[in-house]
Amino acid sequence: MKSYVQIASALAVTGLLVAVTTSTAMADRLQDIISRGKLIVGTGNTNPPWHFKDEQGNMAGFDVDIGKIIAKGIFGDDTKIEFVTQGSDARIPNVVTDKVDITCQFMTVTAERAQQVNFTIPYYREGVGLLLTADGKYKTYDELKSAGNAVTVSVLQNVYAEEMVHKALPEAKVDQYESVDLIYQALNSARADAAATDVSSLRWFMKQNPDKYRDAGYGWEPQTYSCAVKRGDADFLQFVNTALREAMAGVDFATYKSSFERWFGVSPPEPQVGFPSELR
């Protein structure tokens, strides 16, 4: 019969082997990608400026560029990438079941989702903004707010739409429409004084229609966009975070800046030399 000491020693060795095996499995994702020769990214294909197909049928958009930044970090070549188009409801399942290595698809970070996947550092902060016509009656958010119930805001139909608009403009009238196109039509026809929409969409729309619209200059309802990887892929998560951080604040900033300007029509703040300001 084995002594308690022998049994304890055997269990300790078994536990160590399990830990080493588990740790090795967790660390394999990045090496598997390198061995495969391409990064597999899950994203959509119908939502400019985030992810869509351009006139040549190629994948384009800010999410697509973020995937390319990660691929370039791995291979030194941003073409070594495969995009798997997926619906919003597949963003987490495709990561969990290994159909994709990573999902980059304007995915809002929530505590609930963080129980299912690991989120990377943020690469964009979304919010709601107010689009105005360049020749309209109101030029700024302050003017809209001061006008009270004389202002009408068009917004995409949603159970929370009126409450959302009233957080920024408590007295405004709210007209809800079934599609984004209709909220812009209401603005163009002066049935609405402002259109409430995602700031990213607002900036993209302004870029496509220069001199026709203006941003009221106020954003609210912030939400963080990050990519998602499978829980347990610690080394891969660390690598992706490094690639994204250096794109937003380091050696690859020019690439991130170029993409940001292309899709949103504005420049992100330049990283300052000296103390890493992101650590403040």
By the 10 Å C-beta count (0-12 exposed, 13-18 middle, 19+ buried), 27 is classed as: middle
Residue 14 pLDDT greater than 70, yes or no: no
Model confidence at 25, pLDDT cuts 50, 70, 90, reads: very low
Which one is predicted more confidently, 17 or 54? 54
In the chain, what percentage of residues exceed pLDDT 90?
87
Model confidence at 3, pLDDT cuts 50, 70, 90, reads: low
Residue 6 pLDDT greater than 80, yes or no: no
Model confidence at 114, pLDDT cuts 50, 70, 90, reads: very high
d(CA 7, CA 170): 69
The domains of the chain, with CATH numbers, are 10-123+226-266 (3.40.190.10), 126-223 (3.40.190.10)
Mean pLDDT (the chain) is: 91
Residue 123 pLDDT greater than 50, yes or no: yes
Residue 37 pLDDT greater than 80, yes or no: yes
The predicted pLDDT at position 5 comes to 47
Residues 46-102: tens digit of each pLDDT = 999 999 999 999 999 999 999 999 999 999 999 999 999 999 999 999 999 999 999
Q: Determine the average pLDDT of the residues in 94-121.
A: 98
Residue 20 pLDDT greater than 60, yes or no: no
Which one is predicted more confidently, 7 or 130? 130
